[in-house]
Amino acid sequence: MHFNEFDLHDDLLQAVDSMNFQQATPIQEMAIPRILQGKDLIACAQTGTGKTAAYLVPILNSIATHPQEHISTLIIVPTRELAQQIDEQVQGLGYFVNATSIAIYGGTKGPEWDQQRKALTQGADIIIATPGRLMAHMQLGYVRFDQLRHLILDEADRMLDMGFLGDILKIMSQIPAQRQTLMFSATMPPKIRELAKRILQEPEEIQLSVSKPAAGIDQQFYLASDQQKLPLLVHLLKKVNTPSMVLFTSRRSSVDSIVRALGRLGYDAYGISSDSEQSVREVVLRDFKNRKFPILVATDVLSRGIDIDNLSHVVNFDVPRDPEDYVHRIGRTARAETTGTAITFINQDDQPRVLRIERLLETVVEKQAITQQLGLGEAPAFAPRSAKGNGSGDRKRSGKPSSNARSGAPTAARNPDKPAKKRSPRRNRPRKSPSAPTSSAPQDSSPS
DNA sequence: AAAAAAG
């Protein structure tokens, strides 16, 4: 279905056109008409499917057709980077409708607080906020949501994981009951169902292939001890011409040491975690998106929703403890129906988690053991003790439980169906995000 | 045994 088949305001069609949106993705095709009708919605969709535009387009349509003075839309998200990214999308799509927006989040030291207060008092069409900072403003009493018509909870399952339920309910208690509410969640656990029941009215429900990675991702598992991981990574990097790689690690404390180790090996890498200063987080992410350096080392702060064009690789330096996070991490690549490679290093301790991931994916991925032939010593054997978790006995065991050291052949673990069509959405953003400071590449990770 | 978010 083409975008101009939706019943959209002329200005918005122009915006959609300027962004070169043509064919709607499945989630957009399903969500846009229902949101246009004013229905509440609960949608379960993998990231990288055009989820954000699926709600921004109809919301902006509502703003174009019924302009109002004060805030019409509140979008709540779990991380600051996601808030900023959505704000940038609003800037692009909202340009021709003259929609105003602001991202509201904490961690900043500059004039942001006053800018945020001003937007909240004098009005902006769309507010994109992380819960903590929004609450802080609300407690000061000047935030008015009396004209609010649309509330969106994005990455709702993540927000509950992060303990935001109380904040969300408190925020919701101060916005009109007469409103449209949209919930987007990667998964649909009972807690999400409960919340949906509580805050949605006769919701439409959209389910899109739950927890399955995109078809274009080539998943590769390598057995490696902690000492072998870095040299193995270097070996794999040598085979790539111009890598654009996000390397995930589960610990904030490892980000810096990996960045420094890569620096010593001559790779230009920078890191992001909640330990980084917010201004550094922003500059590093922007510079990485602009391909100013090839390797970004990050914690799971970036595992959800963050959109990076043409990311060639995701590397899991360790296996995430939550199998859902694996799907989210590797979903940073092969977005918008392109292709990408997801490499996961598995040491002895990581192995039970691998079984849980494979159970979630309903796929067994070949465990490659190539460290020996690279002269890095013997790889850890793949012999997971167990995959602690729910006691259901349907656990699938890997067909090849032990290390088959001679198989250097690339694994065949991509999802079988769907050819990887390339769509390459050309984004000529009509207006730049107003808040982006321009400065040069970050300065703090050269070899010491 | 982690991560994120308010300061």
User: Is A170 inside any structural domain?
Assistant: yes
For residues A27 and A113, state if they share a domain. Answer: yes
For residues A41 and A81, state if they share a domain. Answer: yes
Residue A224 pLDDT greater than 90, yes or no: yes
Task: Give the DSSP per-residue string, A202-260.
Answer: S-EEEE-STT---TTEEEEEEE--HHHHHHHHHHHHHT-SS--EEEE-S-HHHHHHHHH
User: Is A437 inside any structural domain?
Assistant: no
Question: From residues 256-315 of A, which are strand B contacts by CB within 7 A?
Answer: 273-275, 299-301
Strand B bases contacted by the protein (CB, 7 Å): 1-7
For residues A248 and A192, state if they share a domain. Answer: no
User: Is A383 inside any structural domain?
Assistant: no
Digit-coded pLDDT (tens) for A158-193? 999 999 999 999 999 999 999 999 999 988 899 999
Tokens at A9, concatenated: 């305001």
Judge whether A138 and A129 are in contact, CB under 8 Å: no
Q: Which residues on adjacent β-strands are paired with residue A2? A: A23
At A431, the pLDDT band (50, 70, 90 cuts) reads: very low
Q: Please name the nucleotide lying closest to A113, CA to C1'.
A: B6
For residues A60 and A117, state if they share a domain. Answer: yes
At A388, the pLDDT band (50, 70, 90 cuts) reads: low
For residues A146 and A200, state if they share a domain. Answer: yes
Domain extent, residue A254, equals 217-374
Report which residue is nearest nucleotide B1 when distances run from CA to C1'.
Answer: A321
User: What is the predicted pLDDT for the residue at A60?
Assistant: 97
User: Is A444 inside any structural domain?
Assistant: no
For residues A360 and A342, state if they share a domain. Answer: yes
Q: Please name the nucleotide lying closest to A134, CA to C1'.
A: B6
Q: Which of A335, A362, A366 is nearest to A217 (CA)?
A: A335
For residues A255 and A348, state if they share a domain. Answer: yes
Final residue of a domain: which of A175, A207, A239?
A207
- Residue A27 contacts by C-beta under 8 Å, 6 or more apart in sequence? A43, A45, A49, A50, A51, A54, A206, A208
A165 CA → B5 C1’, Å? 12
Place of tokens 């969640």: A185
Question: From residues 60-99 of A, which are strand B contacts by CB within 7 A?
Answer: 78-81
Residue A241 pLDDT greater than 70, yes or no: yes
Q: Please name the nucleotide lying closest to A274, CA to C1'.
A: B4
Q: Which residues on adjacent β-strands are paired with residue A247? A: A297, A315
Cα separation values, A223 from A300, A351, A408, Å: 22, 9, 12
User: Is A315 inside any structural domain?
Assistant: yes
Final residue of a domain: which of A323, A348, A374?
A374
Average of per-residue pLDDT across A210-236: 90
> Which CATH number is A50's domain given?
3.40.50.300
Final residue of a domain: which of A174, A207, A240?
A207
Tokens at A338, concatenated: 């392109």
For residues A151 and A222, state if they share a domain. Answer: no
* A161 C-beta less than 7 Å away from strand B: yes
For residues A106 and A181, state if they share a domain. Answer: yes
Q: Which of A170, A213, A279, A270 is nearest to A413 (CA)?
A: A213
Residue A225 pLDDT greater than 80, yes or no: yes
A414 CA → B4 C1’, Å? 31
Digit-coded pLDDT (tens) for A64-117? 999 999 999 999 999 999 999 999 999 999 999 999 999 999 999 889 999 999
For residues A70 and A196, state if they share a domain. Answer: yes
pTM, to two decimals: 0.84
Q: Which of A4, A162, A1, A154 is nearest to A87 (CA)?
A: A154
* A152 C-beta less than 7 Å away from strand B: no
Average of per-residue pLDDT across A120-129: 95
Question: From residues 108-147 of A, which are strand B contacts by CB within 7 A?
Answer: 130-136, 139
